[in-house]
């Protein structure tokens, strides 16, 4: 059993394969956090908690006037409350009927059950009864009778513990939740750093590492979505932790809306982390008998560095968050027409692109923005989900059937959450737009937001998309959202309930998605929000892949996909080969480099294949064949970051199969100099005593001049020549030499296979 309870001492111990988590209800009824780290026994470890008389740190009335050693202001707690003596960042803030803001939670009981809990209307890790156990601990404020149910899901083999909270108003008066975090975690020491992932549109999830020194550190979003700017994922780690060593804690928030992740190092060098819905735009009314569910946090610990944290999360997202037919089914190689045509296309042009792409081995054609309503730019038509047959030259069904006739599957772009002022939908339902009455709204991309907090709006979108799906042979949907939300107000909510809008919006989004993926399980949904503006584990519960970024430049994507890899698997990262000069940066990179980077994702194309040379078309055919050959290794293998984009010369990553039989090492040079030192990386995930051969991908090398071919052969490191075999131990301990670049932005893929 992964959950052990000492009822006499009220000690709760959670075990995963390599970790232990422990808490204890003390004599006052405070649920204290004791330990989270390497796996150990289930003995009571509360002896490590320090009790001292701290000046200006008050004492609960119940402990008596003589006991000045007991203060909530310094004790490690499982779920901290605002207003009753703990002055640090808190997890729960309740406004009572009289206007006071105070809650003091006391232990009331527990329940252990097999399997993993679920959360009504929200995404959550799922698992069978033989894969997970659930612990529910009940806390209560004895004055207001507010109950807090702390939920813990334990996935033993994955080294994953999940946290969520259910709050029930069992009192006789209404309350307002002003803050309801999903988790609180206290360490009784400091000395930590945290790694967060910041960015902006077309440059998401940059890695930032900083010391958690005294004070409050925070990342979050008040943009209505999880946002391009801060990802709802963070790592807390020891200062010397790297990819292969050091204690590390990973926290992934399964939520696609406004969030806040705070860390504080307090007066006695203890560290607290709190994660949940952002409180700035949150005030939830809870009447007697009503309950509120918080979103879930997924936690994992490793004593062996950052790489293990990532691989634990990757495995769990692939197997216990992503769902449906496309969870483990091979996803098609696609081509999207956006960068080929933008809004300017005809049905004949689209069919021509599809026909040419099909001949090269592409399997899915995706029609992007501009196929509906009055939509020749981004100024109008959004919300009018009726095909523009005049522009297409036929019905949408006929266009789709023509493309299917080319041997392709057919997909469509939607932006269901957006609405243009110049649209029939807005003229008919202006109250469906998110605006504050009497104020001019802020526009972004010349559009407003459709109020997904309203059930009638949700039902309308479900109805329109259902009509299109039922009439048209669609197997893929790109679900986009191209602005942040402001002017937050719903005409369907009263003045006292406007603080519920942002969360109700996300619940509405989830309801629409759940309805559609249930009704149309054959459709592969890809999430998107101007690229990676809503790239979170919550969305992956509904869309098993997300467009990683609107930046398709291969060299820029090295940084974006590197940062994304810390919390999310390759199988979730939408990545395409684009044209050169790149449309965002103007950079010219070799075809082989663009395909190498795109293969560290779901793989597809975003260019006009009708304009490719015969040589380039042959390269596309080979790229697709190679991606299919490596598909299982890339999508389901263990991911290793061998050399980061911050390296002066080269970025290197590896996928190794879980049995250690083979690996694919990919390298892209982003700097070419003269007389450079060799790039050497230590390959991971292989069997030490097994011999391996290395096969170098030579894509794009066929047309190089004879002298360059001769130079390449001469410069190949030992082990690439004549099929020599090398042990896994040698590759891991001595390393693998990456061949030197033959040109600017050279890419290499090295397939390592056991002999």
Closest listed residue to residue 295, CA positions, set 314, 309, 282: 282
Do the Cβ atoms of 622 and 699 come closer than 8 Å? yes
**Which residues lie across from 665 on neighbouring strands?**
654, 750
Place of tokens 């509906």: 372
Q: What distance separates the 2 farthest-apart alpha carbons in the chain?
A: 90
Give the Cα separation of 752 and 685 in Å (integer).
11
Angle subtended by helix axes 591-598 and 554-565, to nearest 10: 20
Structure tokens at 545: 């892949």
Do the Cβ atoms of 301 and 241 come closer than 8 Å? no
**Which residues lie across from 298 on neighbouring strands?**
162, 252
Question: Annotated active-site positions, please?
Answer: 536, 616
Pairing of strands 175-187, 271-277: antiparallel
Give the Cα separation of 573 and 600 in Å (integer).
8
**Which residues lie across from 605 on neighbouring strands?**
335, 577
Structure tokens at 28: 């006052």
Could you give the count of Cα atoms lying within 13 Å of 623 in the half-sphere of its Cβ?
30
Order of all β-strands in the sheet with 409-414: 573-574, 545-547, 524-527, 476-479, 409-414, 364-367, 334-336, 604-606, 577-578
Closest listed residue to residue 52, CA positions, set 188, 183, 238: 188
Instruction: Please report, in angstroms and rounded to a whole number, the separation of the first and last CA atoms in the chain.
Output: 41
Give the Cα separation of 602 and 743 in Å (integer).
26
Closest listed residue to residue 36, CA positions, set 183, 153, 186, 165: 186
Report how far apart, in Å, the C-alpha atoms of 439 and of each of 434, 436, 521 are: 11, 6, 42
Give the Cα separation of 739 and 717 in Å (integer).
7
3-class state of residue 153 by DSSP: strand
Closest listed residue to residue 25, CA positions, set 79, 103, 89, 85: 79
DSSP-assigned letter for residue 644? -
Structure tokens at 154: 């334990």
**Phi and psi dihedrals of 4, rounded to 5?**
-120, 135
Do the Cβ atoms of 107 and 25 come closer than 8 Å? yes
Give the Cα separation of 433 and 449 in Å (integer).
6
Residue 129 burial (C-beta neighbours within 10 Å; 0-12, 13-18, 19+): exposed
Residue 628 burial (C-beta neighbours within 10 Å; 0-12, 13-18, 19+): middle
Closest listed residue to residue 28, CA positions, set 90, 95, 106: 106
Write out the E strands in 458-580. 476-479, 524-527, 545-547, 573-574, 577-578
**Which residues lie across from 209 on neighbouring strands?**
195
Structure tokens at 253: 């928030």
**Which residues lie across from 666 on neighbouring strands?**
653, 749
Would you list the DSSP string of 274-337?
EEEE-GGG--EEE-TT-EEEPPEEEEEEESB-HHHHHHHHHHHHHHHT--STTTTSPPPPEEES
Distinct helix (H) and strand (E) counts, the chain = 14, 39
Whether cis (ω within 30° of 0) applies to the bond prior to 41 is no
Closest listed residue to residue 202, CA positions, set 536, 543, 555: 555
């Amino acid at each position: 059993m992964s959950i052990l309870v000492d009822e006499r001492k009220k000690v709760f111990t959670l075990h995963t394969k390599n970790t232990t988590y422990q808490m204890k209800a003390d004599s006052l009824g405070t649920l204290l956090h004791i330990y989270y780290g390497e796996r150990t026994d289930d003995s009571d470890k509360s002896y490590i908690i320090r009790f001292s008389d701290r000046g200006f740190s008050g004492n609960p009335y119940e402990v008596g006037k003589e006991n000045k050693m007991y203060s909530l202001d310094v004790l490690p707690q499982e779920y901290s409350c605002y207003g009753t003596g703990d002055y640090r960042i808190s997890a729960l803030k309740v406004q009572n009927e009289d206007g006071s803001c105070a809650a003091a939670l006391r232990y009331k009981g527990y329940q252990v059950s097999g399997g993993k809990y679920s959360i009504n209307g929200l995404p959550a890790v799922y698992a069978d009864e033989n894969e997970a156990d659930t612990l529910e601990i009940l806390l209560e404020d004895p004055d207001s009778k507010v109950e807090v149910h702390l939920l813990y899901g334990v996935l033993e083999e994955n080294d994953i513990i999940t946290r969520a909270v259910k709050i029930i108003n069992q009192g006789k008066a209404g309350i307002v939740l002003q803050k309801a975090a999903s988790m609180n975690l206290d360490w009784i020491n400091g000395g930590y750093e945290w790694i967060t992932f910041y960015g902006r549109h077309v440059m998401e999830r940059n890695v930032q590492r900083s010391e958690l020194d005294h004070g409050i550190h925070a990342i979050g979003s008040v943009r209505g979505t999880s946002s391009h700017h801060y990802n709802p994922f963070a790592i807390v780690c020891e200062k010397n932790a790297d990819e292969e060593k050091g204690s590390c804690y990973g926290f992934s928030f399964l939520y696609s809306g406004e969030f806040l992740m705070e860390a504080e190092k307090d007066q006695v060098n203890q560290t607290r982390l709190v994660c949940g819905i952002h409180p700035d735009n949150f005030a939830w009314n809870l009447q007697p008998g009503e309950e509120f569910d918080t979103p879930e946090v997924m936690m994992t610990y490793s004593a062996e560095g950052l790489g293990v944290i990532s691989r634990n999360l990757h495995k769990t997202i692939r197997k216990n968050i992503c769902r449906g037919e496309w969870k483990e089914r091979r996803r098609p190689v696609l081509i999207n027409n956006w960068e080929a045509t933008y809004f300017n296309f005809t049905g004949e042009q689209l069919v021509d692109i599809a026909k040419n792409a099909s001949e090269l081995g592409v399997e899915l054609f995706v029609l992007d923005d501009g196929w509906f309503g009055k939509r020749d730019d981004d100024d109008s038509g959004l919300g009018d989900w009726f095909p523009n047959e005049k522009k297409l030259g036929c019905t949408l069904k006929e266009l789709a059937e023509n493309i299917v006739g080319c041997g392709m599957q057919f997909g469509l772009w939607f932006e269901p959450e957006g609405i243009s002022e110049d649209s029939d939908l807005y003229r008919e339902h202006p109250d469906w737009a998110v605006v504050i009455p009497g104020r001019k709204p802020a526009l972004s991309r010349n559009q407003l937001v459709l109020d997904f907090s309203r059930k009638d709006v949700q039902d309308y979108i479900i109805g329109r998309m259902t009509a299109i799906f039922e009439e048209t042979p669609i197997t893929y949907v790109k679900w986009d959202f191209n602005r942040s939300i402001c002017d937050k107000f719903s005409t369907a909510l009263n003045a006292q309930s406007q603080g519920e809008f942002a969360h109700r919006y996300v619940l509405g989004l989830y309801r629409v998605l759940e309805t559609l993926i249930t009704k149309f399980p054959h459709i592969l949904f890809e999430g998107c929000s101007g690229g990676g503006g809503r790239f979170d584990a919550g969305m992956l519960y509904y869309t098993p892949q997300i467009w990683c970024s609107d930046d398709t430049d291969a060299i820029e994507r090295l940084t974006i996909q590197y940062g994304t890899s810390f919390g999310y698997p390759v199988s979730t990262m939408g990545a395409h080969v684009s044209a050169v000069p790149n449309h965002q940066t103007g950079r010219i990179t070799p075809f082989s480099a663009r395909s190498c980077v795109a293969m560290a994702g779901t793989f597809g194309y975003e260019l006009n294949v009708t304009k490719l040379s015969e040589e380039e078309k042959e390269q596309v055919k080979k790229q697709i064949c190679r991606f299919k050959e490596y598909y299982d290794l890339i999508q389901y293998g263990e991911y290793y970051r061998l050399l980061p984009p911050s390296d002066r010369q080269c970025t290197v990553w590896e996928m190794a199969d879980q049995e250690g039989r083979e690996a694919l090492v990919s390298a892209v040079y982003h700097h070419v100099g003269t007389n450079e030192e060799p790039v050497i990386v230590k390959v991971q995930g292989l069997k030490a005593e097994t011999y391996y051969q290395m096969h170098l991908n030579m894509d794009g090398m066929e047309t190089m001049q004879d002298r360059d071919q001769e130079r390449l052969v001469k410069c190949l490191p030992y082990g690439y020549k004549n099929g020599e075999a090398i042990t896994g131990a040698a590759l891991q301990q001595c390393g693998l030499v990456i061949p030197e670049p033959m040109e600017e932005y050279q890419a290499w893929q090295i397939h390592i296979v056991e002999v």
